[in-house]
Chain A
Amino acid sequence: MLKNVLTDIGGIGLYGVISVCLFFLVFSGAVLWAFLLRKPYLQAQSQLPLEDGSR
């Protein structure tokens, strides 16, 4: 089945377009996700390496 789908797409161009779209969706998803996070949470996270001083 998968073989037929991939063979039937013929022009590999479409395959490339699907790939780029997939990437775009994942990347925008990550950006959106990151910007929706709340500040107190981000601040707490970024403090983690500093919690035990210089040990």
Chain B
Amino acid sequence: MNLETFRYDNRIVRAFAIATIVWGIVGMLAGLLAAMQLFLPAANFDLAYTTFGRVRPLHTNAVIFAFVGNAMFMGIYYSLQRLCKARMYSDKLSWANFWGWQGIIVAAAVTLLSGFTTSKEYAELEWPIDIAIAVVWVIFTVNLMGTILKRREKHMYVAIWFYIATAITVAVLHIGNSIAVPAGLFKSYPVYAGVQDALVQWWYGHNAVAFFLTTPFLGLMYYFLPKAAGRPVFSYRLSIIHFWGLIFLYIWAGPHHLLYTALPDWAQSLGMVFSVMLVAPSWGGMLNGLLTLRGAWHKVREEPMLKFMVVAVTAYGMATLEGPLLSIKSVNALSHYTDWTIAHVHTGALGWNGFLAFSMLYWLFPIMWNTKLYSVKLANWHFWIAILGMMFYAVPMYWSGVTQGLMWKEFNAEGFLQYPNFLETVLQLVPMYGLRALGGSLYIVGVFLMAYNLWKTAKAGQFVPEVEAQAVPLKAQAEHVEKGPSYKHRWLESRAVLFTVLSLIAILIGGAVEIIPLYLIKSNVPTIASVKPYTPLEVLGRDIYIREGCVGCHSQMVRPFRSETERYGEYSKAGEYVYDHPFLWGSKRSGPDLHRVGGKYSDAWHYNHMEDPRTMSPGSLMPRYPWLITQKLDVTSLPARLSALRKVGVPYEPGYENGTAQQELDTQAAQIVANLKQGSIEAEADREIIALIAYLQRLGTDIKAEPTQAAQAATSTTN
């Protein structure tokens, strides 16, 4: 036999492991700060950089892309080499992947806190960083596929299939959702508007959960769980069904984020049906994981790594049962926009991703440093503190979500809203928010214990940078003569490129089914004649709204329920959003919906409210925005912004930005200043607050301009 000797690279795994721990702590601390800001407005520090609207995307991005992302790379770089019996395709690409990714994380942190954001959830980063992400992702994919192609193991284990699906789908999603026209170095407008933008965003958002947080970790589960349990996966057959079922189904389910919105009904129903069906492959995978431990449960008691793994897989099971439940329209009517969604995602993030990452770290450190874990007792402490932290996080959030949902919908005996003042429903939740912060703190304490434990483990051992291994090269391995389905499947697997193309087709079908009709069938978005593009001042005001992350707490989508039309006014129509690049429907209501806020309050009310919300709304938990009063409005970027908006389809006349636009802006600003004067407020016309007021006063008012047409449009939307 022609044995080849080669070395597995542990250095890159170590680098990603350290990054996982460091960014995990940073991301979770950002989450803790955001959690505290929700019941303690002073925790916003009255600074633009530290307000909730900017800290929240920092938290979500740091946890998803920095913590979970690095953990994913760590696990893949370790397991792929061993499953392929080959060193990574290129050390240079490995390190370009590592440093590129860390650079993106730092750039993300700086830009998000500076207010550079697209506002699209989990895709907030602006276009230059989006391009960097695409480049680094291509580097990772080339390294992954290169390693697979030069492997010495003929067949690709199921974990590798999940890695391939991750690599190609994340690329498709990221590029598809990030197509935008730049209006400066850190500003862009998506080519999609309103309903289409919403659908593309949630096609992305839902599948980012699927293919960034789920499929790579399922691959890692299929590798690390059997390894730690010392026995093969329960059913390899089930893992095949799990894989094809999951990747084919997941893509279809995106519209469940948009139930009861202005999205066409057929798309909502499609999303709901496929979400419910997702239970089947998800639970197949979960049971496959848990049953792998049959006869080895005693090991779970002794091995901290397995403890974390079992909870991770169980949390995956809970989250993937709850997800379809929340996708049922009648449940979603109650749960959507409430903290129930927050509880749901944290079952996944803290339980599934967090515990699986911890599990891998506890497994890899002793192996890579060739020693024993410093303290099993400390790891057990971490385990129980983290469990307690999760409980303290999730239970108050479920309580809070259901409370919110019920209070929003409650009517009194006279047929009026029981809680017409939105603030009443918010103040009710403050104790729950306090408990949630306690839960988060406990979870972070656990991570610190782990970091200490792993640090001591590394200190006690000697790092093994490379591991020598031997295998027969693929060419020298004799071809199998076996025929039949097994042979065919082997044939398919042994052709990694063909396998990749088939996976790509599987994920493209679902996306195409969702998105193509929305573009081709005009009746899906009935136009409303009275809906006009935003004025120049409103465009700048809208961009300030985006910059401050207002969408993190305020939706702009009145659903067609009596409880909502009573509270906010006429329900939202698809045709009202045709000039909204990007859409700002939001996904959570820590504050009230704002789609019909235009004309509801005076300009002076908004001015005072932005300066200090508690003067207008005693007890409000909204942050203060004093800098909007003092900061000058940047009008120099207006031509670039209007021109970019025209490119994405907003019908501004050619040359408008260099002609009357500035004049119109001044006139509208002067009018707002005059209105403020009536409210005894002396304001300057060139401040940011003026633009923001202009935008807020415009919101949802277009259809009021011509009631008959609006009513007609409403009828055609519901038909």
Q: Which of A20, A23, A26, A49 contacts B227 (CB 8 A)?
A: A49
Contact A33 B485 (CB under 8 A): yes
Cβ contacts under 8 Å, B237 to chain A: 34-35, 37, 42
Contact B244 A26 (CB under 8 A): yes
- Map CB proximity to B onto A10-43 as digits: 1 under 8 Å, 0 otherwise: 0011011001101100110011011111101111
B367 at interface by CB-CB < 8 Å = yes
Cβ contacts under 8 Å, A37 to chain B: 237, 240, 485-486, 489
Chain B minimum-CB-distance residue to A55 = B467
Contact B232 A50 (CB under 8 A): yes
Cβ contacts under 8 Å, A15 to chain B: 266, 513, 517
Cβ contacts under 8 Å, B450 to chain A: none
Chain B minimum-CB-distance residue to A44 = B155
Contact B490 A41 (CB under 8 A): yes
* Alpha-carbon distance A43/B521, docked complex (angstroms): 50
Q: Which of A6, A23, A41, A49 contacts B249 (CB 8 A)?
A: A23
Chain A minimum-CB-distance residue to B233 = A46
* Alpha-carbon distance A52/B557, docked complex (angstroms): 55
B379 at interface by CB-CB < 8 Å = no
Contact A36 B520 (CB under 8 A): no
Cβ < 8 Å to A, chain B residues 12-43: none
Contact B270 A19 (CB under 8 A): yes
Contact A19 B232 (CB under 8 A): no
Contact B241 A30 (CB under 8 A): yes
Contact B277 A23 (CB under 8 A): yes
Question: A26 CB to closest chain B CB, in angstroms?
Answer: 5
Cβ contacts under 8 Å, A36 to chain B: 484-486
* Alpha-carbon distance A8/B452, docked complex (angstroms): 64
Cβ contacts under 8 Å, B516 to chain A: 2, 6
The answer to whether A49 and B486 touch (CB under 8 A), given A19-B270, A23-B252, A23-B274, is: no
Question: A47 CB to closest chain B CB, in angstroms?
Answer: 6
Cβ contacts under 8 Å, A40 to chain B: 486
Cβ contacts under 8 Å, A55 to chain B: 8, 82, 367, 467
B406 at interface by CB-CB < 8 Å = no
Contact A26 B83 (CB under 8 A): no
Interface size class on chain B is 35 or more
Q: By CB atoms of chain B within 10 A, which of A7, A26, A48, A55 has the most?
A: A48
Chain A minimum-CB-distance residue to B239 = A46
Contact B82 A16 (CB under 8 A): no
Question: B510 CB to closest chain A CB, in angstroms?
Answer: 8
Q: Which of B83, B240, B277 contacts A48 (CB 8 A)?
A: B83
B153 at interface by CB-CB < 8 Å = yes
* Alpha-carbon distance A33/B696, docked complex (angstroms): 57
Question: B509 CB to closest chain A CB, in angstroms?
Answer: 7
B226 at interface by CB-CB < 8 Å = yes
The answer to whether A54 and B277 touch (CB under 8 A), given A23-B248, A33-B489, A41-B490, is: no
Cβ contacts under 8 Å, B226 to chain A: 46, 49-50
Q: By CB atoms of chain A within 10 A, which of B82, B224, B232, B277 has the most?
A: B232
Residues of A contacting B: mostly: helix
* Alpha-carbon distance A4/B102, docked complex (angstroms): 47
* Alpha-carbon distance A44/B482, docked complex (angstroms): 14
The answer to whether A45 and B155 touch (CB under 8 A), given A7-B521, A26-B248, A33-B485, is: yes
Question: A7 CB to closest chain B CB, in angstroms?
Answer: 6
B269 at interface by CB-CB < 8 Å = yes
B571 at interface by CB-CB < 8 Å = no
Question: B505 CB to closest chain A CB, in angstroms?
Answer: 10
B159 at interface by CB-CB < 8 Å = yes
Q: By CB atoms of chain B within 10 A, which of A22, A23, A50 has the most?
A: A23
* Alpha-carbon distance A15/B482, docked complex (angstroms): 42
Question: B507 CB to closest chain A CB, in angstroms?
Answer: 12
Cβ contacts under 8 Å, B238 to chain A: 34
* Alpha-carbon distance A49/B252, docked complex (angstroms): 32
Contact B236 A42 (CB under 8 A): yes
Q: Which of B223, B244, B264, B273 contacts A49 (CB 8 A)?
A: B223
Contact B241 A34 (CB under 8 A): yes
Chain A minimum-CB-distance residue to B509 = A22
Q: Which of B224, B233, B266, B506 contacts A16 (CB 8 A)?
A: B266
* Alpha-carbon distance A33/B491, docked complex (angstroms): 13
Chain B minimum-CB-distance residue to A35 = B237
Chain A minimum-CB-distance residue to B153 = A48
Question: A5 CB to closest chain B CB, in angstroms?
Answer: 9
Contact B240 A16 (CB under 8 A): no
Cβ contacts under 8 Å, A26 to chain B: 244, 248, 506
Cβ contacts under 8 Å, B222 to chain A: 49
Cβ contacts under 8 Å, A48 to chain B: 83, 153, 155, 157
Q: Which of B227, B273, B469 contacts A50 (CB 8 A)?
A: B227
Cβ < 8 Å to A, chain B residues 609-630: none
Cβ contacts under 8 Å, B513 to chain A: 15, 19
- Residues of chain B having any CB pair with chain A under 8 Å: 8, 79, 82-83, 153, 155, 157-159, 222-224, 226-227, 230-233, 236-238, 240-241, 244-245, 248-249, 252, 264, 266, 269-270, 273-274, 277, 367, 467, 469, 482, 484-486, 489-490, 506, 509, 513, 516-517, 520-521
A-B interface, 9 closest residue pairs, ranked by CB to CB distance from nearest: A46-B232, A36-B485, A30-B244, A41-B486, A12-B266, A48-B157, A38-B486, A34-B240, A42-B236
Q: A2-B520, A36-B484, A48-B155 are in contact. List 20 more A-B contacts (CB 8 A).
A: A6-B516, A6-B517, A12-B264, A12-B517, A16-B269, A16-B270, A19-B252, A19-B270, A23-B248, A23-B274, A26-B506, A33-B240, A33-B489, A38-B484, A38-B486, A41-B489, A49-B79, A49-B82, A49-B157, A55-B467
Q: Could you list 15 A-B pairs, sorted by A, with CB under 8 Å?
A: A12-B521, A15-B517, A16-B269, A23-B248, A26-B244, A27-B248, A30-B244, A30-B248, A31-B241, A48-B83, A49-B223, A49-B227, A49-B232, A50-B226, A55-B82
